[in-house]
Amino acid sequence: MSSLPPSAADRAAEDAIYRKVTWRILPFLFLSFFAAYLDRVNVGFAKAAMSSALHFSDTAYGLGAGIFFIGYFLFEVPSNLLMHRIGARRTLQRIMVLWGLTSSAMVFVHSEWSFYLLRFLLGAFEAGFLPGIVLYFTYWYPSQRRGRIIALIISGVAISGLIGAPISGAILSFTEGLGGMAGWQWMFLLEGLPAIVLGLMVFRVLADRPADAAWLDDGEKAAIQRALAADVEHATQTHLSFAGALRDPRVYALCAIYFTTASGAYLISFWLPTLIKKLTAASNLPAWQLGLLIAIPYLCAAISMIVIAGHSDRKMERRWHIVTCGVVGVVSLLLTTQVTSLVAAIALFSVATSAILTMSPIFWTLPTRLLTSVAAAGGIALINSVGNLAGFVSPTMVGAISDATGSLTAGLYVISGLLVFGCILVLAVVRPDPGAAGTPRAGGPVLGH
């Protein structure tokens, strides 16, 4: 059964409803994702001071940074399947409070093994957060609205660098020795607290689904349900069970694509401060000044993620947006190995960071288009957990290569090769959208079998 095309008045009314929804749930989820990502990657800001104090090699640091994703991998699918059963609020509150407590507990790291243990637990407790948010959006937004919304949330990755780098740098510089603790200990302690506070606020701010939202009237709830029902009519393919999603080879193709994309993102997240220091003359800068420099690429990325993902939504085209970002990111990343000027390095890292981080929100429109219901709960988590193994492989591999060669350049080449492979997979798996050349259609991109 197909519905008639909506009138201009209907579209305007629906737009007004979604503005109300967005202003209600997006700021809170954005702050939550910002806090989560900062707690995940602030170890990159602490690397120099912590490694020096605890005598960690680059290999030990890379393994500790990456072991987070082993815990993440093991618990992510169960977390999202549980969210589908018990609701978003209970799931998000559990995740946020436990990861905030664990992040603050990094203050007690005193050896490589305590570092590995707490990073593993941080991953285990945070498991399910991003796919939980992506799944949550499928309860509220039809696919043609989802790309920009996901981009706004994932821009928290860039904002965590933009704001988090100067804050972390300032904490490292100005709390050193305060109360008998090192600056890196203060950084972990203070930056874990926002997640705990936000987690305790979840039940006040969020509703599990539109039908449960006391701040929507009956007409607004019905309009959202109509938009979602119309979206399902045009879905590429739906699965009635998680087992059905596991039998679909396209799910595994998406896992592979996201693995390559995440490899680039985690290179930036965990190694950007070190890359800027080693490839330029920034090694003598105090931590707070380096933090301000690192904020520049993340500022550019925050803007590009929203602008390019919004353009992808308007055109309902995902394939070439992802590939173009990937190619630009690789070229810029490789060019950083050829410069020594701080200005040139910051400019190239700004382009590379913008392009590589922008791939992620556009990518996430693909699995949400393919999967619905419990298949979405498990399938999205599976794609994210397998893809995020890159968070273990990427920093561990780059650290090992750095120790073996005395340079980070070879690691950049390896990650660049993975990004190129990911772009080839996108071209092979994601078909061009027939609606992209003309009037956008509701169905979005189609994944080939």
Number of domains forming the structure of the chain: 1
In a domain? residue 248: yes
In a domain? residue 225: yes
Has residue 256 got a pLDDT over 60? yes
pLDDT for the residue 164: 76
In a domain? residue 7: no
In a domain? residue 2: no
Containing structural domain, residue 48: 12-447
Has residue 267 got a pLDDT over 70? yes
- State the Cα angle at 119 between 71 and 95, rounded to 5°: 60
CATH of the domain at 414: 1.20.1250.20
- The per-residue pLDDT for range 278-314, each reduced to its tens digit, is 666 656 666 667 777 878 888 898 889 888 988 888 8
Cβ neighbors of 197 (< 8 A, separation 6 or more) are 100
* For the chain, counts of helices (H) and of strands (E): 18, 2
In a domain? residue 57: yes
- The per-residue pLDDT for range 330-371, each reduced to its tens digit, is 999 889 888 777 888 889 989 999 999 999 888 988 886 766
pLDDT for the residue 412: 85
Task: Give the pair of three-digit tokens for residue 27.
Answer: 């700021």
In a domain? residue 91: yes
Cα 79 from Cα 381, distance rounded (Å): 8
Strands 446-447 and 430-431, by their bridges, are antiparallel
In a domain? residue 364: yes
**Could you tell me if 394 and 179 are in contact, meaning their C-beta atoms sit under 8 angstroms apart?**
no
In a domain? residue 413: yes
